[in-house]
Amino acid sequence: MTTPFSFVLEVPAASPEEARRHFLAKLSVETDAADVHLDLERGKKGFVVVDTRSPDAYAQRHIPGALNLPTRTLSETTTARLSKDDVIVTYCWGPGCNGSTRAAAKLAALGFRVKEMLGGIEYWVKEGYATEGTAPQGQPVYAER
């Protein structure tokens, strides 16, 4: 049975120019584990990776070279060592965690340029990238909580 109604087409698609602006705007505030990993591996400068989880979670497993600045601790004092010339890339547990989103908003309010790493440490590990910390490699991310 066919029906003239379409859930996909109920709201008209954006024009190509509107769509381009939308997706570029998303890319200006988001990145992913693959891009962060490749740039770190290539020694690219101009960004700093910040783990926004608790000190205990950071100690168990974090991205090599990431700084630990828990979301609730962010202030002018705790971010004083960060350069406003660098882009700050925030991450937390995974897609179900908004700690990195909250941290990115706080950092932006403090005058930093920020991007959030989609998927957090969960997707970093799923991609097979190395981590540092006390948790054994291969241990599931959420077993650490």
Query: In this structure, is residue 136 part of a structural domain?
Result: yes
Looking at every residue in the chain, the average pLDDT score rounds to: 95
Q: Please report, for the domain that includes residue 114, its CATH number.
A: 3.40.250.10
Q: How many domains does the chain have?
A: 1
Query: In this structure, is residue 20 part of a structural domain?
Result: no
Contact 60, 133 (CB under 8 A): yes
Short-list 102, 12, 14, CA closest to 50: 102
- 10, pLDDT greater than 60: yes
pLDDT at 143: 57
- 1, pLDDT greater than 80: no
Residue 49 sits in which domain range? 30-144
From residue 29, give the alpha-carbon distance in Å to each of 4, 59, 60, 70, 109: 38, 27, 27, 19, 14
- 144, pLDDT greater than 60: no
What confidence tier does 142 reach under pLDDT thresholds 50, 70, 90?
A: confident
pLDDT at 136: 80
SS3 124: helix
Query: In this structure, is residue 14 part of a structural domain?
Result: no
